[in-house]
């Protein structure tokens, strides 16, 4: 019974996310990626506290994949120094997440969550009229 309820909840979440993606503009899609990466890091923190090392590693891997996708979307020609700085920050976050995974380092997870939160806040603060395609 529990597995069936969990399966239904997972299907609902997937449908809700698919609906949000279909209705989102490019700026909102980037915001969703930041949100998703942050959620994975928070999950990793919770799994680490619970001693569930396997799921902690999976959550960190998913966060790294999302951040890698954000990094791959950067337009270095149009974005110039901003894109270069974001790329360096994304690389740093992925390195710290990898260290957090290898050493079960809650402090590194917290640092990554804080950094990602700052980037996400700045992204979400861009006025609607000034939103353009991602850097």
Q: Domain count for the chain, please give it.
A: 1
Tell whether 130 is covered by a domain: no
Sign of CA dihedral 120, 126, 128, 132: negative
The tens digit of pLDDT for each residue in 78-135 reads 889 999 999 999 999 999 999 999 999 999 999 999 999 999 999 999 898 887 655 5
Tell whether 135 is covered by a domain: no
Q: Residue 94: which domain range?
A: 25-125
Residue 7 has pLDDT above 80, yes or no: no
Residue 74 has pLDDT above 90, yes or no: yes
Q: With DSSP H G I counted as helix, E B as strand and the rest as coil, what are the percentages for the chain, rounded to 5?
A: 85, 0, 15
Average the pLDDT over 40-57 and give the result.
Answer: 98
Tell whether 41 is covered by a domain: yes
Q: What is the CATH number of the domain that holds 98?
A: 1.20.120.340
Residue tagged 């942050």 (tokens): 38
Q: pTM of the prediction?
A: 0.82
Tell whether 11 is covered by a domain: no
Q: Identify the CA nearest to 65 among candidates 89, 33, 104.
A: 33
Tell whether 1 is covered by a domain: no
Tell whether 91 is covered by a domain: yes
Tell whether 85 is covered by a domain: yes
**Model pLDDT, residue 8:** 57
């Amino acid at each position: 019974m529990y597995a069936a309820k969990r399966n239904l909840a997972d299907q609902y979440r997937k449908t809700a996310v698919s609906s949000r993606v279909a209705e989102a503009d490019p700026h909102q899609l980037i915001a969703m990626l930041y949100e998703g990466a942050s959620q994975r890091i928070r999950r990793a923190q919770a799994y680490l506290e619970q001693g569930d090392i396997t799921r902690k590693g999976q959550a960190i891997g998913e966060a790294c994949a999302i951040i890698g996708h954000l990094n791959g979307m950067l337009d270095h020609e149009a974005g110039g120094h901003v894109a270069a700085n974001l790329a360096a920050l994304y690389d740093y976050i992925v390195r710290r997440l990898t260290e957090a995974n290898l050493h079960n380092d809650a402090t590194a997870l917290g640092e990554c969550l804080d950094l990602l939160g700052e980037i996400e806040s700045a992204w979400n603060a861009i006025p609607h009229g000034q939103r353009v395609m991602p850097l």
